[in-house]
Every structure is written in C-alpha cells, then in structure tokens.
C-alpha cells in the first residue's frame, strides 16, 4: 500500500526543441531517487497540443512565485 502513495512534485516541462518563452506546461510527476541524487533532469515523451504530435519534454526551472 505504501508503494501507491509516492511523493509527486510539481515540475515545469517544456518541449525540448522550443524555448522557454513558448507554450508552457505544468505536470505532477514522480522524480525518482536516482534523478534527485545524480541531479538529472526529468525527460518524458508527452503530447504537444500546439503541434498535435508526441515529442520529448524536459524539466526546466520553475518560474518565480507571484502572489
């Protein structure tokens, strides 16, 4: 039962081929212990609705918090 409740964190994913200023996406994802320890970026294949294709998304730095 404990395995089903993994800690999800909010990550900021952008398409690998696009700049940060283009369309932005937020996802809740599970970052594995290996990714955190080795300081690697999360890389997932997701559907890009702007282009209507599946492409690689990479983790980027979260934008500053605004109230």
Predicted pLDDT of residue 34: 79
Q: Quick check: is 67 in a domain?
A: no
Domain CATH for 21: 2.20.28
Q: How far apart are CA 31 and CA 39, in angstroms?
A: 11
Q: What is the pLDDT of residue 1?
A: 47
Q: Which domain holds residue 18?
A: 2-60
Q: What is the mean pLDDT of residues 47-66?
A: 81
How many structural domains comprise the chain? 1
In a domain, 56, yes or no: yes
> Does 65 map to a domain?
no
Residue 66 lies in a domain: no
Q: Does 7 reside within a domain?
A: yes
Distance of CA 33 to the CA centre of its chain: 16
13-39: per-residue pLDDT in tens? Answer: 888 877 666 665 667 677 778 777 888
């Amino acid at each position: 039962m404990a395995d089903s409740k993994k800690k999800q964190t909010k990550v900021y994913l952008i398409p690998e081929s696009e700049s940060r200023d283009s369309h932005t996406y937020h996802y809740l994802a599970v970052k594995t212990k290996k990714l955190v320890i080795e300081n690697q970026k999360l890389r997932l294949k997701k559907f890009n609705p702007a282009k209507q294709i599946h492409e690689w998304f990479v983790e980027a730095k979260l934008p500053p918090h605004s109230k």
